[in-house]
């Protein structure tokens, strides 16, 4: 079995981690994988370069063009470029499939990207479509031409042999939006078990950050945007610090809200309790996670499967996370994590206070989280599932 993996991303942030997590897992399982995408983009070289170090990102050549378009192009222009990209996709996908007889097409769904699935069906290949978002839902970039995008999306979903949705929310939407019955699967994001090589390295990070040996450390990793509600995490620490003076919060990364967070920390007298690390290279993130005892996610969107959730759980951290479908797909409330109403300061403070007061419960919850990830949510497990689905489709069966 072989795969042509087609994507339309810059291959640098979470999408690059996802692409290369799946590609490497397929290759380690003995499958040949060819990646095709936008000109000048190679996730084998750039995966994971962001989101925690966006400010230091260096790009050259055509990558500078994509960066400018992504950051500055009017949305109407951006949408037209999305449609126009089909001309490039038709060429590169068709050529890659012709050069690899018998290869399946694995495509990362992107708005208006119809050419890939058409090329796959035209060459009678199995077409697997990975779905990370759908048209019309609230996201960072505003959408225009929504009726056209919805019509194209329906055609794309109808043509795919299987849809691999990263959350149950997206699976339900895909079924509602034209996917063929029995062809939709929930395949959440995952973690690379090489992450666990960092176990034990957090001690040095705690010393580097001046964290006392008896402190209990909660933490967040990512790019600081408004919808992450990091301000709620800071407020929660302010509520529990009198009862638990040994609590510390480390915010790993940088982003648009960093300045507001620094002011909030100073105004609330939390400088001794909340540490902002600034930008951190992706290859050092596992050590920072290892330095934590508790993982915090105050809010998340309703559709996406946050990779950091799997990293925190995989490293054995007790996690407090928002009540959204992608989280409930992974966490059993009170067993391998705590689920709280999104952005609820009081709920986060209550859960944090409990985990601070009950170290045995915290450790047991973290261990159950780690087992869940190892059993169900590694890239190797996802690759096996993809291969099983593809094999069933090759044999003319509905997986």
As a residue count, the chain comes to 399
> Which of 56-70, 152-166, 220-234, 348-362 bottoms out in mean pLDDT, i.e. has the lowest?
56-70
Please report the pLDDT score of residue 327 as a whole number: 98
* DSSP, res 282: G
Confidence of residue 49 (pLDDT cuts 50, 70, 90): low
Stretch 233-261: mean pLDDT, rounded?
A: 97
> Which of 52-66, 164-178, 230-244 bottoms out in mean pLDDT, i.e. has the lowest?
52-66
Stretch 326-340: mean pLDDT, rounded?
A: 97
Do 2-190+378-394 and 193-376 have matching folds? yes
**pLDDT, tens only, 89-121:** 999 999 999 999 999 999 999 999 999 999 999
* DSSP, res 123: T
Please report the pLDDT score of residue 62 as a whole number: 55
Is residue 338 within 8 A of residue 364, CB to CB? The reply is no
Please report the pLDDT score of residue 195 as a whole number: 84
* DSSP, res 55: G
Confidence of residue 139 (pLDDT cuts 50, 70, 90): low
Confidence of residue 393 (pLDDT cuts 50, 70, 90): very high
Confidence of residue 60 (pLDDT cuts 50, 70, 90): low
Token readout for 328 is: 């409930």
Percent of the chain, pLDDT > 70?
92
Q: In 3D, which of 113, 54, 41 has the Cα closest to residue 79?
A: 113
Stretch 342-355: mean pLDDT, rounded?
A: 97
Please report the pLDDT score of residue 51 as a whole number: 44
**pLDDT, tens only, 148-197:** 999 999 999 999 999 999 999 999 999 999 999 899 999 999 999 888 88
More confident residue, 224 or 283: 224
Q: In 3D, which of 226, 223, 254, 244 has the Cα closest to residue 294?
A: 244
pTM score, two decimals? 0.90
Domain ranges of the chain: 2-190+378-394, 193-376
Tally Cβ neighbours within 10 Å of residue 70.
12
> Virtual CA dihedral for 186, 187, 188, 191, nearest 10 degrees?
170
Tally Cβ neighbours within 10 Å of residue 32.
12
Confidence of residue 14 (pLDDT cuts 50, 70, 90): confident
Please report the pLDDT score of residue 194 as a whole number: 86
Percent of the chain, pLDDT > 90?
78
Please report the pLDDT score of residue 81 as a whole number: 85
Asked, as a colleague might, if the bond just before 51 is cis with ω within 30 of 0, I would say yes
- Asked whether the predicted pLDDT for residue 140 surpasses 70, the reply is no
Please report the pLDDT score of residue 12 as a whole number: 75
Task: Give SS3 for 71.
Answer: helix
Confidence of residue 141 (pLDDT cuts 50, 70, 90): low
Please report the pLDDT score of residue 68 as a whole number: 58
Instruction: For 2-190+378-394, give the CATH class.
Output: alpha beta
Distance CA 337, CA 309 (A): 10
For residue 101, report the phi and psi dihedrals to the nearest 5 degrees: -55, 130
Stretch 384-395: mean pLDDT, rounded?
A: 95
Edge to edge, the sheet with strand 274-278 lists 274-278, 247-254, 216-223, 294-296, 318-322, 338-340
Average pLDDT value over all residues in the chain: 91
Confidence of residue 48 (pLDDT cuts 50, 70, 90): low
Instruction: For 193-376, give the CATH class.
Output: alpha beta
Query: Which helix or strand (DSSP H or E) is residue 164 part of?
Result: strand 162-165
Please report the pLDDT score of residue 281 as a whole number: 86
Please report the pLDDT score of residue 45 as a whole number: 84
Please report the pLDDT score of residue 282 as a whole number: 82
Residue partners of 327: CB distance under 8 A and separation at least 6: 297, 300, 309, 321, 337, 339
Please report the pLDDT score of residue 145 as a whole number: 86
- Asked whether the predicted pLDDT for residue 57 surpasses 60, the reply is no
């Amino acid at each position: 079995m072989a795969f042509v993996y087609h994507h339309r991303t810059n291959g640098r942030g979470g999408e690059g981690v996802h692409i290369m997590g799946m590609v490497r897992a397929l290759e380690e399982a003995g499958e040949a994988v060819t990646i095709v995408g936008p000109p000048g983009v190679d996730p084998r070289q750039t995966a994971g370069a962001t989101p925690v170090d966006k400010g230091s990102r260096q790009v050259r050549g055509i990558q500078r063009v994509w960066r400018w378009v992504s950051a500055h192009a009017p949305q109407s222009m951006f949408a037209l470029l999305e449609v126009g990209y089909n001309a490039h996709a038709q060429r590169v996908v068709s050529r890659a499939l012709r050069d690899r007889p018998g290869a399946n097409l694995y495509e990362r769904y992107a708005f208006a990207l119809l050419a890939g699935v058409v090329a796959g069906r035209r060459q009678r290949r199995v077409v697997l479509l990975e779905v990370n978002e759908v048209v019309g839902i609230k996201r960072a970039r505003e959408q225009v031409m929504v009726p056209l995008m919805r019509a194209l999306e329906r055609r794309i979903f109808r043509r795919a042999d299987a849809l691999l949705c990263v959350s149950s929310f997206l699976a339900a939407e895909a079924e509602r939006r034209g996917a063929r019955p029995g062809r939709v699967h929930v395949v959440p994001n995952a973690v690379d078990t090489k992450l666990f090589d960092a176990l034990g390295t957090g001690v040095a990070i705690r010393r580097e950050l001046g964290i006392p040996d008896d402190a209990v450390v909660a933490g967040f990793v990512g790019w600081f945007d408004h919808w992450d509600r990091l301000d709620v995490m800071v407020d929660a620490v302010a509520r529990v610090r009198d009862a638990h003076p040994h609590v510390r919060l480390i915010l790993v990364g940088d982003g648009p809200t960093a300045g507001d967070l620094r002011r909030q920390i100073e105004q609330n007298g939390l400088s001794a309790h909340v540490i902002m690390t600034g930008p951190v290279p992706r290859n050092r993130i596992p050590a920072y996670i290892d330095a934590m005892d508790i993982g915090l996610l105050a809010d998340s969107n309703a559709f996406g499967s946050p990779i950091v959730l799997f990293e925190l759980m995989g490293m054995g951290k007790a996690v407090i996370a928002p009540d959204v479908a992608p989280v409930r797909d992974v966490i059993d409330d009170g067993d391998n994590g705590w689920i709280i109403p999104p952005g609820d300061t009081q709920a986060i403070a209550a859960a944090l206070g409990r985990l601070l007061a009950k170290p045995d419960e915290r450790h047991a919850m973290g261990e159950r989280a780690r087992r869940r990830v190892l059993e169900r949510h590694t890239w190797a497990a996802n690759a096996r599932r993809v291969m099983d689905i593809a094999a069933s489709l090759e044999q003319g069966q509905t997986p």
